[in-house]
Structures are given as structure tokens and as C-alpha cells.
């Protein structure tokens, strides 16, 4: 679906407002929108709301073989999913320029900054390591997806617990959460991305652009930084020339924002830990707002079961009885199955005819010949032998033709083998 284009007057209005140091939602230049971090019911699931932008991250793990070049290190895998729910322009299963850009930036922010101890993810050197997979789903796109995604990803990684493993000799045991408490990942630091948008060739700068602002911006600068004021990655896109002072100023702003966000994340993690320890229910279901008119909740309700039995009985009795005669599969010709009677199977009959003509020519094709002979025998034989019912267990073996068995294993007895034996002997006679 195509995106709604931005009207020229709207664009002019936005730019003019920015010139006057005003923003559409009443924020100041360096303000972030309201941020909310919630967790899912299971470990490693995190929801981030940044204004109206919504992102969900889920971390999962799997035991895999390590890369040959790094046999002692676990593998980190990041996947940003631009779900069509977030914006009508996003298409499912297509790698757009934006998704490549976001994926790459998240990888640089979290993998290349070595914030996670990958060596602790090694189980058996060169054989088994943990692969940590981070899926980030965009749920609603209202600008600044990168910041929301990086916050969601790092928070989910901090929240995640992987199963404990025990090694005894060559045996590796993966313990379930009931047997042994799952282990958190060892995280050295938390890089967080902060986005700056530039307008009028870098004259104006805004932190945390919303979707409308992103549409009219000239350039974007993303700085990933941790709370120790270490820059993990810088990416400038949009093709604007930035001055040294501007980059310095942005990194200073970023350090302030990052320390605020880190504090929020640790608070959220602590709250969740407390809630889990208290044994209370936690997760998305509990974080649903109750005071909104658009939300409603209903307690557990019993379903009335009286009448149900009567009703079911009623319907079953009223229903027409299904026909009791189930047609059993019949075999009109050995090697051919058929359901229902009176159906003439014309399958491959022509081929057989051909073979009959070439009867004497191919003596080496024993398999085909045997089959053909049996068919001939059956045709000559009485009507009773013509139709063999599969449902009869004793005669079931008639259907499976082993051209070699009659000669090699004559000790078998029974009607079925007699028939085959007869066929084989007949073949010999003919030769």
C-alpha cells in the first residue's frame, strides 16, 4: 500500500515551526517523547513505547555449531522485522532499504560494540555454542524506530535468561527452568542509540524526531553510546555535511540522554524482578491500562454446561445415519488398488499391451515379465481370483509382488504363495 504523501503546505508549516524552535507535539528541541518499558510474561520479551512508536523485542536461544573462525564464541543474531502493522508502506518478507539500514545499525550498536560476552555462550569448544537471536518487531511507526529498537533489544537482552547446561565428560545436559534456574547473559555495558535530525542543511537540530519530522528532515545522525560515555557507533545518513562542532555537540547531548535512558531501563528491570519474585502476575496482560474507555477486562467466567449434553445428543440423533457400507478397497489386477466397485481402471493398460507384444524379445527383464505373467494368469483364471480384497489380512500379501521370492523361498506356504508359485512355474514353461 502506498503511503499518504505529505502536502507541500504541511511541509512548509513543519519547517517554519522548526525555524521558530517549535515542534509539532510541543516538545523542546532536546526532549525525548514519553518512554515506557514493559515486559512480557516470558523472559527476554520487552515492549518499548516511545511516544506513539511501539516496538517489541524477543530474545531466544538455540544450541548450534560455532563458526569455524571463532570456535569458542557464541553467535549473536539480530533481526528487525518491519511488520506491515507499523506502517502501510512496509511489506512483509521484503528487505527494504530501511530494514537493511536498521538491521546494520543495530548490529553495529550491539554486536560490534562487544557489549555481550560471547565467550560465556560457549558450551563445547568447536562443537556447541549458544546462538542468541534477537527479533525486533515494529508495531507502530511514529518516527525514531532505531532508538526504540535499540532500547528494546538491549533491555530484552538484559531481561533474558538462558537454560543452564551441565557437562559431564562428553555428555551435555540442558536443564529445564524447573530443574535449574536459568542464567542471565553477561552484559558488559548497554549501548543505546540516540538519533538527531537536521533541517535546513544542518542549521537546526532535533532530538528524537517523530514521523512527520523525519519526512521533512535533511539528514540523520545516529550515535550509539553507553553510560560510560563511550561511543559505540556513529552513523550519518541523508548526505548532509556536518561540522566538527555539531558532531561534538550531538555526542554531548547523547551522553545526557543515554544516562537518563539507562536509568529508566535499570529501574524497569528492577521493578520486573521484584514483581516476579513476589510471584504476582506480570507481563503484557497486566500492563493493559484499565482507566481508558477503549479498554475492558473480564474476569474468569464459567461456561454453562447444562443443556450441552442434551443438545449434542439431539443433534446426533436427528442427523442422518451415515451409510454403514464402507467400500473396501479391491484389487482388480495385482499391483493395482481400487476403491468403489464398477470402476474400470485404465491406468497403464496400454503399456502392458505393448509388453505382451514384445513378449519373447526381452528375457533379461525378469521383473516386468513376471508381473505380466501373473496378470495373464489372473485373466485366464476364474473371476474369484480376479478380485482380491485388501481388507482380508491373510491374502494381503498377494498384492505385493516379489518376483524373486517364489524361487528363492519356496518353503513359505499359504494360498498367496501358491498363486505366485504357479505364476512363476508357468513362466518357466513358457520359456
Partner 1 sequence: SRDELVCGSSNVSLREFGCEQSLLSRPDGSASFVQGDTSVLAGVYGPAEVKVSKEIYDRATLEVLIQPKVGLPSVRERSQEQCVRETCEASLLLTLHPRSSLTLVLQVLHDDGSLLSCFLNAACMALMDAGLPMSCLFCGVTCAIDADGQIITDPTAAQEKESRALMTFAIDSKECRVMMSSTKGSFSVHELQQCIAVSQKASEKIFQFYRDSVKRRYSKTL
Residue numbers of the site for partner 1 (CB under 8 A)?
A: 1-2, 40-42, 45, 52, 54, 56, 58, 60, 81, 83-88, 92-93, 133, 135, 137, 139-142, 283-285, 288-289, 291-305, 307-309, 311-313, 315-316, 319
Q: Are 332 and 345 in contact (CB under 8 A)?
A: yes
Least distance in Å: CB of 93 to partner 1?
A: 7
Give first-to-last CA distance, the chain, whole Å. 74
Task: Give min distance, CB of 89 to partner 1, in A.
Answer: 10
Least distance (Å) between residue 286 CB and partner 1: 9
Q: How far is the CB of 221 from partner 1 (least distance, A)?
A: 25
H helices within 208-243, ranges in order?
A: 211-216
Q: By C-beta, is 300 or 357 nearer to partner 1?
A: 300
Q: Which of 327, 342, 100, 326 is nearest to 235 (CA)?
A: 100
Decide whether 137 or 377 has the Cβ nearer to partner 1.
Answer: 137
* C-alpha pair distances (Å), 36 with each of 25, 135, 136, 193, 253: 18, 19, 16, 16, 21
- Of all helices (H) and strands (E), which one includes residue 355? helix 349-357
Nearer Cβ to partner 1, position 33 or 420?
33
The span from the CA of 185 to the CA of 120, in Å, is 8
Q: Report in angstroms how near the CB of residue 183 gets to partner 1 at its nearest.
A: 20
Give the DSSP H/E element, type plus range, for residue 109. Answer: helix 97-110
Closest CA to 80 of 90, 71, 72, 88: 90
Q: Please say which residue, 241 or 326, places its beta carbon nearer to partner 1.
A: 326
CA angle 57, 59, 62 (to 5 degrees): 155
Q: What is the closest distance, in whole angstroms, from the C-beta atom of residue 284 to partner 1 in the complex?
A: 5
Nearest residue (CB) to partner 1, 142 versus 375: 142
Distance CA 329, CA 148 (A): 63
CB nearer to partner 1: pick between 283 and 332: 283
Amino acid at each position: 500500500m502506498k503511503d499518504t504523501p505529505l502536502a507541500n503546505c504541511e511541509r512548509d508549516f513543519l519547517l517554519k515551526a522548526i525555524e521558530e524552535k517549535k515542534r509539532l507535539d510541543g516538545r523542546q528541541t532536546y526532549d525525548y517523547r514519553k518512554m515506557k518499558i514493559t515486559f512480557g510474561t516470558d523472559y527476554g520479551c520487552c515492549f518499548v513505547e516511545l511516544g506513539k512508536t511501539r516496538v517489541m523485542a524477543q530474545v531466544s536461544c538455540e544450541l548450534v555449531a560455532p563458526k569455524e573462525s571463532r570456535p569458542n564464541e557464541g553467535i549473536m543474531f539480530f533481526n528487525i522485522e518491519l511488520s506491515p502493522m507499523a506502517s502501510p508502506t512496509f511489506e512483509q518478507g521484503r528487505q527494504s532499504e530501511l530494514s537493511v539500514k536498521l538491521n546494520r545499525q543495530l548490529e553495529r550498536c550491539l554486536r560490534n560494540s562487544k557489549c555481550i560476552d560471547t565467550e560465556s555462550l560457549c558450551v563445547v569448544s568447536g562443537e556447541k555454542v549458544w546462538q542468541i537471536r534477537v527479533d525486533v518487531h515494529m508495531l507502530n511507526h511514529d518516527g525514531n524506530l532505531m532508538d526504540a529498537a535499540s532500547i528494546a533489544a538491549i533491555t530484552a537482552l538484559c531481561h533474558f535468561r538462558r537454560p543452564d547446561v551441565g557437562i559431564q565428560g562428553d555428555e551435555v545436559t540442558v536443564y529445564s527452568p524447573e530443574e535449574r534456574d536459568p542464567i542471565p547473559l553477561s552484559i558488559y555495558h548497554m549501548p543505546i542509540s540516540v538519533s538527531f535530525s537536521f533541517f535546513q542543511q544542518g542549521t537546526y537540530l532535533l532530538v528524537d524526531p517523530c514521523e512527520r519530522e523525519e519526512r521533512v528532515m535533511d539528514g540523520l545522525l545516529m550515535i550509539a553510546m553507553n553510560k560510560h560515555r563511550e561511543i559505540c557507533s556513529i552513523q550519518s545518513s541523508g548526505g548532509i555535511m556536518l561540522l566538527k562542532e555539531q558532531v561534538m555537540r550531538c555526542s554531548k547531548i547523547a551522553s545526557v540522554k543515554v544516562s537518563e535512558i539507562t536509568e529508566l531501563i535499570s529501574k524497569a528491570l528492577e521493578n520486573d524482578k521484584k514483581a516476579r519474585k513476589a510471584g504476582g502476575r506480570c507481563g503484557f496482560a497486566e500492563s493493559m491500562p484499565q482507566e481508558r474507555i477503549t479498554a475492558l477486562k473480564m474476569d474468569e467466567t464459567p461456561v454453562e454446561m447444562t443443556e450441552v449434553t442434551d443438545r449434542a445428543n439431539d443433534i446426533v440423533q436427528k442427523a442422518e445415519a451415515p451409510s454403514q457400507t464402507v467400500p473396501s478397497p479391491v484389487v482388480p489386477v495385482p499391483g493395482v488398488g481400487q476403491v468403489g466397485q464398477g470402476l474400470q481402471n485404465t491406468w497403464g493398460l496400454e503399456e502392458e499391451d505393448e509388453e505382451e507384444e514384445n513378449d519373447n524379445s526381452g528375457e533379461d527383464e525378469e521383473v516386468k515379465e513376471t508381473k505380466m505373467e501373473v496378470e495373464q494368469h489372473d485373466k485366464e483364471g476364474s473371476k474369484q481370483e480376479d478380485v482380491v480384497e485388501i481388507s482380508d489380512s491373510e491374502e494381503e500379501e498377494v498384492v505385493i509382488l516379489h518376483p524373486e521370492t517364489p524361487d528363492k523361498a519356496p518353503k513359505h506356504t499359504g494360498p498367496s504363495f501358491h498363486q505366485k508359485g504357479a505364476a512363476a512355474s508357468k513362466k518357466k514353461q513358457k520359456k
